[in-house]
Amino acid sequence: MAKPSALAASPQLAPTETPGPIFIGGSDRCGKTSLRHFLVSHPNISIPAVGSNMWTYFYGQFGDLGRRDNFERCLAAMLNYKHVRFLKPDADRIRREFWKGDPSYARLFALFQIHHAERESKPRWGDQTGLIERYADEVFTAYPGSKMLHMVRDPRDRYEASLALWPNGMGRVGGAAARWLYSIRLAHRNLARYPDRYKIVRYESLVCWPEQTLRDICAFLGENFSPAMLTMDGAPSHRDKLRSSANGHQGASPLSPEFIGRFRQSIPRREIAFMQFHAGRLMRTHGYSMEPLRFSLRDWFLFSLVDWPLNLIRMYTWLGKEALHQNFPSLAGRTAAPKMILKEAS
């Protein structure tokens, strides 16, 4: 496997810049959680164990937060969401501190994270949220010195890992291709706009060259590399879980190479063909080689007349819904699954 391309590189933090929050983005099942566990093993960095999803489910959905009624509606909804409640927020403190500064969504979200980092006695807060790259412009405007790490994984392996959790959902390969393409295109856009604040990190690089990749990430963040990061000393439970699921893997890092290329044993060839047909150019840009596929006449017939049009509909359906959510948050904003909402806020 080739080492990370020049596209993934970003300049180091300027010495005069004040370190700001760290955001981990990318699509689902691409390694965000593993990167989070490496980073929280650093003595300066606090990132909650679950993604807050604040930008995803609350940004722009309650109107102007300068109005107290809108602020209270937004705060109540956030306190009802399990991922936010995981942060153990002090609602009264948030109310007091919110009105001392700019009454914006970004400030409200930051207060939850700042208080959580204080309880961990760490000076720098962060957040892991799927597809946070949607909000790169807003994040970088709101938080001076903030940095964003965008995790990228081979879309075929990402799809295989997704199916392990949601075997009957998420739009099959059409939806999977849509999410990967949407995320990677945002990554390229954001990197071009913010080359000193945005970094693309390949999951495969984190697996195969963990120390080199972590040192590069630390340089980008303006932090000194800590050896404790490599062994996930700050996340022993997750480290043990990774080792137990990797058939005895005992490398320097808990991540095992056996999770690379698993799509070959699990994903139907016609679905691999769809992914490669629509995402192949961008896959090659990030060092992912195309799988040679040989189809029988029957397979070509089924792919051309059944699989391809059906998954194309799924792909554009997902992209269409995403456009509505992103552009009209107050009318068609994203909503969390009902199981993630508490019946009563406390």
Closest alpha carbon to 19 in 214, 219, 161, 193: 219
The sign of the dihedral angle between the CA atoms of 30, 120, 143, 71 is positive
C-alpha 182/C-alpha 167 separation (Å) is 21
Superfamily, domain 19-340: P-loop containing nucleotide triphosphate hydrolases (3.40.50.300)
Per-residue pLDDT of the chain (346 residues; tens, 9 = 90+): 545 443 443 333 334 356 899 999 999 999 999 999 999 999 999 999 999 999 999 999 999 999 999 999 999 999 999 999 999 999 999 999 999 999 999 999 999 999 999 999 999 999 999 999 999 999 999 999 999 999 999 999 999 999 988 877 667 999 999 999 999 999 999 999 999 999 999 999 999 999 999 999 999 999 999 999 999 998 888 777 777 766 655 667 788 888 899 999 999 999 999 999 999 999 999 999 999 999 999 999 999 999 999 999 999 999 999 999 999 998 999 999 999 999 764 4
Contact call for residues 106 and 125 (beta carbons, < 8 A): no
Domain boundaries defined on the chain = 19-340
Secondary structure class of 151 (helix, strand, coil): strand
C-alpha 293/C-alpha 42 separation (Å) is 44
